[in-house]
Structure 1
Amino acid sequence: MEEYEMHEYSQDMKNRLKRVEGQIRGVLKMMDEDKGCKDVITQLSAARSAMDRAIAYIVARNLETCIREADENGNDEADQIIQEAVQMLVKSR
C-alpha cells in the first residue's frame, strides 16, 4: 500500500500555525499577568479550535493533491487515499 504525502506546505498553512503560535504566546502572557482562569481557558479553547481547523485544512489540501496526483498517474486509489485522510483526522482528535 503506497502512502501519499504532500511535500509542500503553502504559506497559508504556515500562517494558520503562526496565528496559533501567537495565541499560545498570548495565553502564556495572560498567565504571567495572573489573568483569571476563565479568560485563560477561553483563550486556550480558541487556540485548540484554531489548531483543529489547521489540521483539517492541511488534511483537506493533502487529500485534494493526492487524489489529483493519483488520477493524473492513472491510479484508481481514491478510496484508499480518502481512508488515509480520515484516519489522519481521527488520530488528531
Structure 2
Amino acid sequence: MEYSADMKNRLKRVEGQVRGVIKMMDDEKDCKSIITQMTAIRSAIDRATAYVVAKNLEVCLREQTETEEERDEVIEEAIKMLVKSR
C-alpha cells in the first residue's frame, strides 16, 4: 500500500507534539499540562491508526478482492487491527 502525504503529515504532527512535551518537561512545566498534552498525543495516534486502517481497507476492497468471502476476510482483518491497536 502506498502511504499518502496526509497519513505521513498526521504522524509528523504527533512527532511535533512529542517534541513539545519534552520541551515542557525540560522547562519543568506542571504535571497537569504535560498529561493533557500526552493525552492529546494518544488521541492523535489513535485517529491516525484508524485512518491508516480505513484507507488500507478501502484499497484492499477495491483492488484485491473479487468475491464476497474475500471482502469479508479483509474487513475482519481490519477490525482485528483496530481492536489490537486499542
How big is the shift at 1:75?
A: 3.5
Q: Which runs of 5+ in 1 are unaligned?
A: 1-6
User: 2:76 & 2:21 partners in 1: Cα distance?
Assistant: 36
**TM-score, with normalisation over the residues of structure 2?**
0.94
- Pick from 70, 76, 80 the counterpart of residue 83 of structure 1: 76
How big is the shift at 1:25?
A: 0.3
Q: Which runs of 5+ in 2 are unaligned?
A: none
User: 1:75 & 1:64 partners in 2: Cα distance?
Assistant: 15
Q: Which residue of 1 aligns with 2:36?
A: 42
**TM-score, with normalisation over the residues of structure 1?**
0.88
User: 2:81 & 2:17 partners in 1: Cα distance?
Assistant: 24
Q: Does 1:52 align with 2:46?
A: yes
User: 2:32 & 2:55 partners in 1: Cα distance?
Assistant: 35
How big is the shift at 1:91?
A: 0.8
Q: What CA RMSD, in Å, does the superposition of the two structures yield over aligned residues?
A: 0.9
User: 1:82 & 1:31 partners in 2: Cα distance?
Assistant: 41
Q: Does 1:18 align with 2:12?
A: yes
User: 2:72 & 2:30 partners in 1: Cα distance?
Assistant: 48
Q: Which residue of 2 aligns with 1:3?
A: none
Which stretches of structure 1, 4 residues or longer, exceed 4 Å deviation after superposition? Answer: none
- Pick from 82, 89, 92 the counterpart of residue 85 of structure 2: 92
